[in-house]
Structure 1
Amino acid sequence: MTEETTETKGVRLTAGDAELTVSPDNGCRIGSLRIGGTELLRQGPRYGSFPMVPWCGRVELGRFRDGGRSHQLPVNSPPHAIHGTGRDVAWRTVRTGPDSAAFTYDLADPWPYEGRVTQSFDLTADALTVTMSVETEGDSFPAQAGWHPWFLRDLGEGGADVELSFAAEWQEERGENHLPTGHRVPPRPGPWDDCFGMPDGVDVTLTWPERLELKVTSRSAWVVVYDEQAEAVCVEPQSGPPNGLNTLPRLVTPIDPLEISMTWSWRDLT
């Protein structure tokens, strides 16, 4: 596994007063996003924003079935497998420009199917759009894709903590094993390490009072919100719920790749 620590090297994109750094050698994660010189993503251990692919969140006991075949994934968060393999490998740079870039990597062991993942970044002065696709190079297979950002809880200089605002249609009931039970319940107050359903698309607002407002949007219907740590909060658009390889498989076929995108848009509140 690639060590998950701040990587200063990478591909740097700029637009207006926005500056984005992508680290293809460290899981093609966003290492930094600065707006007007202010960093929005946690640095140090567990930093930036990493892609979750070819699955999102936890897979129960690391096992999933595809038809009559059963597969075992590495249990990297005992007793489950978590967050995919894309964050653990180096990605190839396909193209770079002043405000856009694209990267790819080939699916390989321990993932049991051949395929290719592509991730692109497009930055403007007030928004970032990230798109990820999963294609098969052989057999069809179930897969998921999404992102796991670590947004700073506060932006420093004595500012107030971030406030989260969203209106979900339901919350996936979470069992003691941290996996959805299969029951949908009305959204409950935090703190959260929970998956929410937004059938009209993910729409979550993070507000650092008197500093910055940032909206996370996606056409996907699923988002995990995690705010149980002191330093950071996570808003994670993804193509299906945790353990979805088993409970809600989305098949990637030669004529139907999986594609997901998210946009972070922001405005200054000062």
Structure 2
Amino acid sequence: MKFTIAIPVYNGEKSILKTIECALNQDFPFPYEVLISNNGSKDGTAAIIEPYSSRVKIISRADTVPMYENHNICLREAQGNYVIYCHADDVLFEDSLSKYYDILQKRNFPEKYVLWGRSMFRDFYSNWKEGGIGLNNVLAGQKAVIPFLLGGLAPSGVCYSRKSLLQLGGFCSANLRLTPFDMTTMLKMAIENFEFEMSDRIFFNRRFATTAVALNFKLVKESVYDGFSCLKKELTEDQYRFLISTIVNCKIYDPFLYNFLLKEKLVKKSATRKHIIKKALKAPSLLFNLDFYTEIKSCM
């Protein structure tokens, strides 16, 4: 079986019905699996998914685990060679599996691969192009790290080679609710020689994102620091040195990454100040942004 469509859900009673229906009604000629992992929902989610038990594999638990672990449960329980996540507030288009299949077939069904496409919301292309490559091309090696230093790729609508991600330990751990485990997981995969492809096709409709909330500088800083602290534990010393070297030597400056480097005493404050000055010169409007002054203060 090539594909499992995995639906991790927590309190999704308002939207999961459409998500299940889109997963079951794929215009695809080959067998595939639909799996739901109900993460201790406290609303009416269980009652909504129960009638589908003969057509869908349902994993239910009484307690609630972190989001990254619910995605790992899907990985462990899935039967498909590739797992496509569809969060319970998103909808796959009916031809999505066929489009994934056609692209992967052209690549001879690679074993260490991540594939995704365009999006009407939080499109990843602005990050992707920093790797120096266009759409419908394979990105691997050192440059594959760079796009994911700018942010994570939300798993919904993304196709992962299941066995290789499981062998890697699955999605990275996190201690905070907003820790960007998607970001650290993609970095770990890039360092472990996975290949990545962003297609010019669109596979799903993201109606909204549960993480689309206004976050202050301090909260994001703490979350990113937690993510990289967890990632450090999952890398070898050589891999960790490679990651730090890439962050320091690439042209991208991210205040949250540099906050991690400063706390770990991997860069001097003077290096960060240079980046902040360049940033202000390029975008003078930042002088009216309170978070920018918080960023400056952290480097003093």
Same structural fold, with TM-score higher than 0.5 when normalized by the shorter chain = no
Larger Rg: 2
Decide which structure has greater helix share: 2
Q: TM-score, normalised by structure 1?
A: 0.30
Q: TM-score, normalised by structure 2?
A: 0.28
